[in-house]
Each structure stands twice: as C-alpha cells, then as structure tokens.
Structure 1
Amino acid sequence: MAEADAGHVQRALDAVISAVRASGHRPSALAPHRPNPIALSETAGVRLALTLLTIAPLSRPDRIQAVTSGIAAMSVEETYYWYALSTGPSSQRARRALRVYLSGT
C-alpha cells in the first residue's frame, strides 16, 4: 500500500488513470468528493503503489516522467519484484536504485 497527497497524485496522474482503467473503471470515477475508495485490481494497484513510492522524493518533471514511463513499461513480474523490494527492510535503498535505474541519474 502507498499513500499520496494531492501533489504526488498530480505528478503521477497518468499512472493513476491507467490503474483505474486497468481495473475496469472509467476515469470519471476519480473525483475529489468521491465518498468511497476505488477498488483496483491487484496488478494495477501494485504498479500504482510502486510508482507513488518511487516518485515521492522527486521534483524534476523529466525524472518523474522517466520513472513513471519505466514502471509502466515493466512486465508484471518485474513490477512485483521491485514492489517487494520497495516495501521490504531495505526499501529506501531499493527505491533509490529503481529511480537511478529508470531515470539514469
């Protein structure tokens, strides 16, 4: 699981919309006044959580775009692998490694 404030969600809006669509919902289901959470499929939720966890400390738009595009292009197995590393005991190091791997800096 991952939590994100409005700023992080805005930076990862494409990933949020992709997760909503992949879970069988329309993008119009996203609304600030929505009373209930949107149920995501496991795969879409893992991909979105990995995106939000990885871009959290980033501020440069080019790096954010590189990371979100890289995660979107990953296979399901690779996404689960990086998610497991990013939520494990050395999660900060794994997230940093993924940011470097995907953005090249």
Structure 2
Amino acid sequence: GLKHKIKAYKLQEDGLDTVEANEKLGFPPDMRDYGVGAQILKDLGVKKLKIMTNNPKKLIGLEGHGLEITGRVKMNVSNNPENQKYLSTKKTKLGHMLDL
C-alpha cells in the first residue's frame, strides 16, 4: 500500500528508477490490476471504450476483462529535467508509448 509506495519513492531519491525500486522491495514493476475498474464499467453497461493512456498494459488489462478497446488517445507528456529519468524508464522498461 501507501507505506511501500513511500519506500519506493525513497529508493528513487537514492538513485534507483521506478522499476528497480519496486523490484528491490520485492514487487513487480507494476502491480496494478484493472479488474475492479473493468467490472464497474461493465456494471454501468459499458462494453466498448476509447481510452486515454500511454500504458499498453492498461489496454491489455481492460481487454482481458471483456471490454472492447475501440481506440487510444495518446497522452501528451511534457519532458523536463525533473521527470526525464522517470519517463525514460516508463518507455524503455515498461513499454509506455511516449515520444521523448
């Protein structure tokens, strides 16, 4: 939970990237599960959707729970010295669809 996220942030401050920090704490790089969100959408009658994301695992996660993804809207992310390493890690290690 939140305690582990704070520990991961501390490791990032010490020089690890987001993936390395999670792995050092014994967690996978991205622990999110889209099942509850997908179920809520289905309960609301949503069967198809266009999603705003740069994370391909969100597409796969929602499709894996029976939702049809009809399109993806790219999220524009500003690249700056403070987030360069973080965004680069997201792109290279997690496969995020980013234009850096």
Greater percentage in helix: 1
| Fold shared per TM-score above 0.5 | no
**Greater gyration radius:** 2
TM-score of the pair, normalised by structure 1: 0.23
Greater percentage in strand: 2
TM-score of the pair, normalised by structure 2: 0.24
